[in-house]
Structure 1
Amino acid sequence: MKIGELSRRTGIPTRMLRYYEEQDLLHPERAENGYRRYDASALYRVQQIRGLLDSGLTTEIIRRILPFLTEPDEIHVHPECLTPDTAALLQGEADRIQQRIDCLARNRDAILACLSAVRPGTAPPSGQV
């Protein structure tokens, strides 16, 4: 499929798809006329990239782990591929994401507590009275 079709099917603008290619995250083939050609697996790959970016990972980290994400919810990492540097980088990212999750949960609880104070019958967040 061409870049326009991939954009329509994934909801990702063509400019962003080109950026993914510049960052070495997508690898389209080129037709004789120079147009990018994507196979069906690009749909899943773009969804993976988008999800990883939305979770706050950098393109550098995504580039390192993307080769191991071959199927939905499956990671195939060969032990010799996970260097100490990459492991430390991933651990740091996991810790940072957990901090964001904790912060979001606190914010959600504060909002729900506020709602329960102004809306009778609205349950306060679990763990709060």
Structure 2
Amino acid sequence: MRIGEASRVGGVSARSLRHYEDQGLIVPGRLDNGFRDYCRSTIDRVLVIRSLLESGLPVRLIRKLLPRLPDGSGAGTGTVCAEFLREVQSHRDRLAARIAILGEQRAALDTYLREARRAGSPSAT
């Protein structure tokens, strides 16, 4: 299928498909006229890529995972190497640390806003 149809079927923009290709995540076939030709297995791979990106994994980790999947689908832990799982865990831990810091910053802002509202309210004078 051509890029427009692949875009619709895969639920991503044509630009995303080109980006995935540029990043080495997919390799569509080429027709005689040079147009990209997407087969079903490439679309299945696009669905996996989209899912992994939506879960917050960076492209570098996805690029490591995809060659280990036999058909580009089903990112179950049975087909994933231990090194990849360690990297995903590390990525998750970094996200958790960032979330904790953001929570602390939000709490500090909440405190500031409460105090500022109290200081600015007419009943506080």
TM-score bracket relative to the smaller structure: 0.5 to 0.7
Alignment map for 1:50-129 (pairs within 5 Å): 50-69=50-69, 70=71, 71-74=73-76, 75-77=78-80, 82=83, 88-96=86-94, 99=96
Q: CA deviation at 1:51?
A: 0.7
Alpha carbons 2:48, 2:75 under 8 Å: kept: no
Structure of higher CA gyration radius:
2
Distance in 1 of aligned mates of 2:35 and 2:25: 18
Residue 58 of structure 1, CA deviation = 0.9
Q: Distance in 2 between matches of 1:87 and 1:14?
A: 30
Q: What displacement does 1:93 show?
A: 1.5
Q: CA deviation at 1:32?
A: 1.3
Name whichever structure is richer in helix by fraction. Answer: 2
Deviation at 1:90, TM superposition (A): 2.9
Unaligned runs of 5+ in 2: 104-125
Runs of 4+ in 1 over 4 A off after TM superposition: none
- What SS is found at the alignment partner of 1:89? helix
TM-score (norm 2): 0.65
Separation in 2, partners of 1:96, 1:34:
42
Q: 1:91 to 1:78 in 2, by over 3 A?
A: closer
Structure 1 unaligned regions, length at least 5: 107-129
Cα 1:24/1:78, change in 2 over 3 Å: same
1:11-65: CA deviation from partner (whole Å, max 9, x where unpaired)? 2110111000000001101111111111111221111101111111111110001
